[in-house]
Amino acid sequence: MPFIRITLGAELSPDRRNTLARRATDLIVDILGKRREVTAVLVETAADASWLIGGEPASRSPCHCEIAITAGSNTPAEIARMIAATSSLLREIPGSVPEASYVVVRELPAGNWGYDGRTQAARRQGGAP
């Protein structure tokens, strides 16, 4: 049950935004082995003027991506591949992005998050929420 939040410094057309979300979902499924039907993606925009890099206004449209997964559900090699592939995707779809455009994979304890009213820990144990 991954959650992907992509924050961009500039608006994308609805078609490009949907393509970005779909391709990010494909990466999660293909690289991390997650289930497509419970993968959620939020693509949001923060005004370019809000972004500073090195203490200065960003010269190119910045972006930031955070991916939440359950701790221990993927290997360090899989996570590294996900970061590399997501970085490539962000250079492709939004376009020219600064070097300081980060991809963060957060590994959350299974008991600290869930969906449909059940934690990931409860799902693993087959128990109630």
Strands (E), 13-128: 40-45, 52-53, 56-57, 63-70, 102-108, 114-115, 118-119
Q: What are the Cα distances from residue 19, in Å, to 16, 26, 71, 108, 113?
A: 5, 10, 28, 27, 27
3-class secondary-structure state, position 107: strand
Q: How far apart are CA 104 and CA 64, in angstroms?
A: 8
Domain locations in the chain? Answer: 3-125
How many angstroms separate the CA atoms of 112 and 48, rounded? Answer: 33
Sign of the alpha-carbon dihedral angle for 81, 82, 87, 89? positive
Tens of pLDDT, residues 69-118 = 999 999 999 999 999 999 999 999 877 788 888 999 999 988 888 888 88
Token pair, residue 111, equals 């008991």
Confidence band of 24 (pLDDT split at 50, 70, 90): very high
Reported confidence tier of residue 6, pLDDT bands at 50, 70, 90: very high
Q: Measured on CA atoms in the order 53, 24, 42, 78, is the torsion positive or negative?
A: negative
Predicted pLDDT at 127: 56
Question: What is the model's pLDDT at position 31?
Answer: 98
Higher pLDDT, 50 or 16: 16
Write out the H or E segment, with its range, that includes residue 79: helix 76-92
Other C-beta atoms within 10 Å of 54: how many?
8
d(CA 28, CA 31): 6
The architecture CATH gives domain 3-125: 2-Layer Sandwich (3.30)
